[in-house]
Amino acid sequence: MLGVVRQKMLGQSLPKIRPVVSVLRSYSSAAKQMTVRDSLNSALDEEMSADPKVFLMGEEVGEYQGAYKISKGLLEKYGPERVRDTPITEAGFAGIGVGAAYYGLKPVVEFMTFNFSMQAIDHIINSAAKSNYMSAGQMSVPIVFRGPNGAAAGVGAQHSQCYAAWYASCPGLKVLTPYSSEDARGLLKAAIRDPDPVVFLENELLYGESFPVSDEVLDSSFCLPIGKAKIERVGRDVTITAFSRMVGHALKAAEILEKDGIDAEVINLRSIRPLDRSTINASVRKTNRLVTVEEGFPQHGVGAEICASVVEESFAYLDAPVERIAGADIPMPYAANLERLAVPQVEDIVRAAKRACYRSVPLAAAA
């Protein structure tokens, strides 16, 4: 009912609110650009330089400069004792990393993609996540598991799954999903400094993207808090939550929606566990509508958890059912046309936001 009233109001011309597409903080006018790849590389470099206990381990991280060149130059700078190329055994090097962390080193373990972390998942869950609790604080595990997560382009089912929901369901772990270069730098530094095990989910397609970074972000002591989401774009009509690459899609969708008179608020989750429920709920209480966006499979996904949280805490504020955008409930197909249909596109987010605003829209995507 309220939604109908709102709809009518939106139909009238309202003073246009200039959307803030880039980051909210006011930076110095000459903002530098930095790729996500360089952000991660610089964060690793600075943390390794600051703390001799930090070391990097994974397949191809040393001589090859990293499978995605994230660890470029680090072997040369820090030597093979601190940048270790490992044999091909995810279970092996995850276990070794956990052991090293038990003893007090701070390993950063790279999985070539998180799909391969499945071969090490026992160490991540049963050893890393649970040890501090099971040993009553005697064995802490200050480890970071990082690597690309989610779909890339044309890599098929075993290279495209998003593991955010899997890891975020396990207490004892912290799960982070950076989007921009600022996120990458700040969250990776926070993860390395954190005494708990952190799963750091990057995205291959974001590595090459550039974002503006302020001097504050470039400072070596820069750090973002774990568990705080970021409002990338302030809005009034509908809340769109997203993480990782989908934040970019959500922002593009917001631009399109603006032309149709819908002012979307885009939240970059940054942290899946702990989930910033208070920011999400505060936003929904303001806009009364919610669209969750994620790349991963819909069942038991991040959107499902957000929806439950909002229903539990802000039910009275919802004017429309929560819309969930997720990847198709199938193993990722390889063919380019099928892949495009299996991963959320900008148009899907636009349509979902319109549905949440009770606009009539076609249900399915055009092939």
Partner 1 sequence: MAIWCRVSSRTIANANHMRKFINPASGLSPALNRGRPLFSDGNRRHLDSLPRNRATRVWFQRFKSTLAEKQQDSFLSSDSDEDLQSLQFPGGKVSYTSEMNFISESSETRVPCYRVLDDDGELIPDSHFQQVSEEVAVKMYSKMVSLQIMDTIFYEAQRQGRISFYLTSAGEEAINIASAAALSEQDIILPQYREPGVLLWRGFTLQEFADQCFGNKADYGKGRQMPIHYGSKKHNFFTISSPIATQLPQAAGIAYSLKMDNKKACVVSYIGDGGTSEGDFHAGLNFAAVMEAPVIFFCRNNGWAISTNVSEQFRSDGIVVKGRAYGIRSIRVDGNDALAVYTAVSAAREMAVNEHRPILIEALTYRVGHHSTSDDSTKYRKLDEIVYWKNARNPVNRFRNWVQSNGWWSEQQETQLRNSVRKQLLEAIQVAEKAEKPPLSEMFRDVYDYPPSNLEEQEKHLRETISRHPSDYPSDIPV
Of the residues 47, 59, 123, 159, only one is catalytic, namely 159
| DSSP H stretches of helix in the chain | 2-11, 36-50, 74-78, 90-103, 121-122, 130-134, 164-168, 181-193, 215-218, 245-259, 277-287, 302-314, 336-342, 346-356
Are 193 and 223 contacting, i.e. CB atoms less than 8 angstroms apart?
A: yes
- Please identify, using beta-carbon distances, which residue of 15 and 104 lies nearer to partner 1: 104
Task: Give the angle 225-242-351 at the CA atoms, nearest 5°.
Answer: 160
Picking from 155, 159, 203, the residue whose alpha carbon sits closest to that of residue 334 is 155
For strands 174-176 and 144-148, give the pairing.
Answer: unpaired
Cα separation, 253 vs 238, in Å, equals: 12
Active-site residue, 295 included: no
Cross-strand pairs, 33: 212
Active-site residue, 249 included: no
Task: Give the angle 330-335-337 at the CA atoms, nearest 5°.
Answer: 90
CB of 217 to partner 1, least distance (A): 25
- Please identify, using beta-carbon distances, which residue of 151 and 224 lies nearer to partner 1: 224
- Please identify, using beta-carbon distances, which residue of 170 and 257 lies nearer to partner 1: 170
CB of 115 to partner 1, least distance (A): 17
CB of 123 to partner 1, least distance (A): 6
DSSP label at residue 36:
H
Per-residue HEC secondary structure of 310-331 comes to HHHHHHHHCCCCCEEECCCCCC
Cα separation, 202 vs 36, in Å, equals: 9
- Please identify, using beta-carbon distances, which residue of 94 and 262 lies nearer to partner 1: 94
- Please identify, using beta-carbon distances, which residue of 102 and 207 lies nearer to partner 1: 102
CB of 126 to partner 1, least distance (A): 5
- Please identify, using beta-carbon distances, which residue of 196 and 209 lies nearer to partner 1: 196
CA dihedral 189→191→195→198, nearest 10 degrees, is: -160
CB of 308 to partner 1, least distance (A): 13
CB of 276 to partner 1, least distance (A): 10
Cross-strand pairs, 238: 264
For strands 106-110 and 144-148, give the pairing.
Answer: parallel
Cα separation, 37 vs 204, in Å, equals: 9
The residues binding partner 1 (CB under 8 A) are 81, 84, 86-87, 89, 91-105, 107, 122-123, 126-127, 131-140, 171-172, 174, 194-196, 227, 274-275, 277
CB of 206 to partner 1, least distance (A): 27
Q: Per the structure block, which two tokens stand in for 215? A: 């001097």
Q: Per the structure block, which two tokens stand in for 191? A: 């993860």
Of the residues 46, 47, 59, 90, only one is catalytic, namely 90
- Please identify, using beta-carbon distances, which residue of 40 and 54 lies nearer to partner 1: 54
Catalytic site residues? Answer: 90, 159
